[in-house]
Each structure stands twice: as C-alpha cells, then as structure tokens.
Amino acid sequence: MIMLSPVANSTETILQPHHLSMALSSSVAPSVAPTVPLQPTPLVPAFHAHSSSIPFCFPAKPSCKSDSYKLCSSTGSLKWRTRVSFLSSFLTNGKDTKTLKDELLEAIAPLDRGANASPEDQQRVDQIARKLEALNPTKEPLKSDLLNGKWELIYTTSRSILQTERPKFLRSSVNYQAINVDTLRAQNMESWPFFNQVTADLAPLNTRKVAVKFDNFKILGLISIKAPGRARGELEITYLDDELRVSRGDKGNLFILTMVDPSYRVPV
C-alpha cells in the first residue's frame, strides 16, 4: 500500500517519498519395549508455515499389504491445531478477526483520521492494529488480488498527510490510494480543496514489502511536475483482507485504509 500526500510543500505518503509514510516436533514418545502388543502411535509432524492442515502417521503395524499411510487420529490432529494457533491466540487474547476489526474502527471513528488523536489514542489504535496483524489472513499480500483497487485512508499517524499545520478548511477532506499489483503501480489522491495526485513505481523487496519511487505529481489535478529523485521510500503491508488494509512506513507511521473500488486502475 502506498499513500502519498501530494501537496506542493510535502511529498510524504503512506509510502513516503522522502521519508515514506502515506498503507512475513515431531514428538513421538519413545517406544518402550512392551510385553503386550501396542496400538499404532501417531506421529505429529513439526509445524511449518505451509504445512498441510491434516497430518499423517505411520502405523506401527501395516493394516494392508500396500503399507498405505493412515490419517492420524482426531486427537493427534487437535494437538497439532492447538500448537499452530497458540501464538496468535496469545497475542490477541483469543479475540477473532471480526471483533478486532470492530474495535479498531470504533477507536478510529472519533479521531478525524488521526488529526485529533492524542498520544494515548495513538497507542490504543496501534495496540489493536498489532493484534489484528497477528491474525493477517493474507501472508503474501503482494501476490494477492485483494491488494488491487482504490482504498480510502481512514487513519494515519503521518502529520504531513494529515496536514495538521493548516487550517482545517485547507486540508484534504478525503485521501485515497490505489495499487495495481500486475503493473506494480500506485497512486495517491487528495480531494477538495486541491485535488493533488502523485503516482509511483513499486519494486517488491519481499512478498509483504515494497520500495516506492514516485515519478509524477499533479497539482490541482492539472499541472504535472516530475518527482525529484529523492522522492522514494518503503512500505510494508501488515494486514490485508477484502475490506481492510494496514500498512507501516519505514519511518514508523501507521496507515489504515478501507476498500472503495476494487476495479480501479492506476495510470501507467
């Protein structure tokens, strides 16, 4: 994700231009030589990020001539799932994604996209966002079509994007950011009163993080200005689903956006 604040005196964005801000055991109880036949003991595979959700076991004694694998018992499967979910549950206090999203939106609602946020408000929003990030359903966002489209910025800690040094009537009332994964292009757009825009090329650093190089500013939506070479930065997408996106800039700013138009295309 990338959000710029393409204003005449600022090039910061959700992927900030000059300092970028505007949003990857098997434990088998040792077999003791018994004096009576034992039942097959399932082997639970070590957990890996991409492991199959259904582990397999090797029977102690083949039940058929083909020596086929058998699915482990439901008890073994339950133990495996418990291991997998333990860390996320610990970080989120057992709350599910929907509950955390509702808490996040509720915390953001009175803050005017972050312009009215106190340090305590910022800390609370950040804590909820981190819990949600621990449950991110899209592990490789730069490979996901969910990233495509036009997003509305609903919260940020970036003061340059919020333009808090200006009178409120001279601040952009709404900020948008668009990304197209297939063309690796991004665009940030302001609304009334200036309608400034900026476009950028994206270069993946991994499946969650991009380097951003801004190429063209458009003042008042009409006057094109080539972006300076220093207008670049990095952005990491830390949570993504079909409704909500959370990103963090290389200077520590937080960006939270909601989907507006998944069909939007960024100019090439």
Domain membership flag for residue 62: no
Domain-located, residue 206: yes
Find the mean pLDDT for residues 184-188.
97
Residue 190, domain member (yes or no): yes
Residue 111 three-state SS: helix
Amino acid at position 56, single letter: F
Distances (CA, A) of 59 to 43, 193, 248: 9, 71, 48
Split at pLDDT 50, 70, 90, the class of 221 is confident
The pLDDT score that the predictor gives to residue 141 is: 97
255 contacts 155 by C-beta, under 8 angstroms: yes
- Higher-confidence residue: 250 or 150? 150
155 falls within a domain: yes
Neighbours of 3 (CB within 10 A): 36
Establish if 49 belongs to a structural domain: no
CATH code, domain carrying 244: 2.40.128.20
The reported pLDDT for the residue numbered 48 is 35
- Does any domain span residue 51? no
Contact 144, 169 (CB under 8 A): no
How many C-beta atoms surround the C-beta of residue 190 within 10 A?
A: 24
The sign of the dihedral angle between the CA atoms of 147, 236, 206, 84 is negative
Computed over every residue of the chain, the mean pLDDT equals 76
Can you tell me which residue has the tokens 């909500």? Answer: 244
Confidence of residue 75 (pLDDT cuts 50, 70, 90): very low
